[in-house]
Amino acid sequence: MTRITDDEGSQAARPSGSRRDPEWLRDRLDAWMKQHEGDRAHVTGIEIPAANGMSSETLLADVRVDGQDRKLVVRVAPMPDNDPVFGSYDLDGQFQLIRHLAEHTDVPLPALWWSEPSPDALGAPFFVMDRVGGDVPPDVMPYTFGSWVTEATAEQRSQMATASVGVLAKIHAAPLPPVGVAAPGDGESPLRSHIRRLHGFYDWARAGRAGAPLIDRAFAWVEETYPRDEPEPALSWGDARIGNIMYRDFEPVAVLDWEMATIGPRELDVGWMIFLHRFFQDLAELAGMDGLPGFLRREDVAASYEEQTGYRPVDLDFFTGYAALIHAVIMFRINCRAIHFGQTEEPTDPDDMILHRSAMEAMIAGTYWENVKR
């Protein structure tokens, strides 16, 4: 799930603190584990990270299993009174999808432990997986503003980019999963289905509001520029960006966050990876910083993907523009949520709720990429 990157926005984007007490959580999780695993599992500690995600909550658990100490992660669906970013969460579906990938690919994934679809134990469904050590490109402040990524050598970043595109190649090579993804409706193409669901999410997010005119224009642009020949579908990660990958020595060791997974063209992920880097790069340039202009360039990502898969991504003007629209709808929802909690004021111009407004306007106008090249 992508995150707002300015300090004020990032605080508004995140849940307003977990409603759960760590001691209560520890006792409840311990009781659940004993009920399902007997005395072989015992929870020794729970930590609620200060910087939790905008969507599902992450808990860090210390657990003793069969006499061995384990460091685990518990992903918990958000509480309804926390006004979640999305209307529904299928944590067990994510668990089953990760298991499917672990069985059929060599995508680096945390080892899975348990899934509990009932809210009885912790107040919401959850699943448990191994805690993996490594580095994640930060969102706050964005990795383009100065981070271990900017401090790396050009060769290290090239290695990182190639390996990150390789993650997409491995995901797209997986057999289509039976669960954990949003599948097309009867007689509906995967891309048409994706657009329909995005519009439904936007309608839900703007309930009681007029909406953002820029988003409305972008949906019209999608119809006007829809690919003549829709690419073949594959398993799509959905939130395919380096901020959802944990690295060690610039190689991926864990791929995270599967709540946006779907069935669709490979270009959904390729375009999202390209656009999300440009989003952070544009923020750096707007702040007068160099950022990483040579990293994850559109032509380089496409060429690397073709080299690793034999498939050349098509219609990238459309798919990067569509990625900008997806991101805009999510940011609109996040800001509606912040307004609801009184963390920000309603802007006079609803388009100001879209942080990448100027980039999106340029993409719709067909001028964005020529300016990037200059």
Active site amino acids? 239
Element (H, E) at 264: strand 262-265
Give the integer Cα–Cα distance in Å for 1 and 53: 8
CA distances from 346 to 46, 152, 217, 231, 370 (A): 37, 40, 21, 40, 34
Residues 318/227, Cβ–Cβ less than 8 Å: yes
Give the integer Cα–Cα distance in Å for 16 and 239: 23
Burial 94-118 (b: 16+ CB within 10 A, else e): bbbbbbbbeeebebbbbeebbbbee
Give the integer Cα–Cα distance in Å for 79 and 36: 24
Give the integer Cα–Cα distance in Å for 42 and 352: 49
Give the integer Cα–Cα distance in Å for 157 and 152: 6
Residues 191/230, Cβ–Cβ less than 8 Å: yes
Helix (H, G, I), strand (E, B) or coil at 244: helix
CA distances from 236 to 204, 255, 275, 296, 321 (A): 23, 13, 16, 19, 17
Residues 359/324, Cβ–Cβ less than 8 Å: yes
Give the integer Cα–Cα distance in Å for 55 and 77: 8
Strand partners, 43: 63
Give the integer Cα–Cα distance in Å for 366 and 73: 43
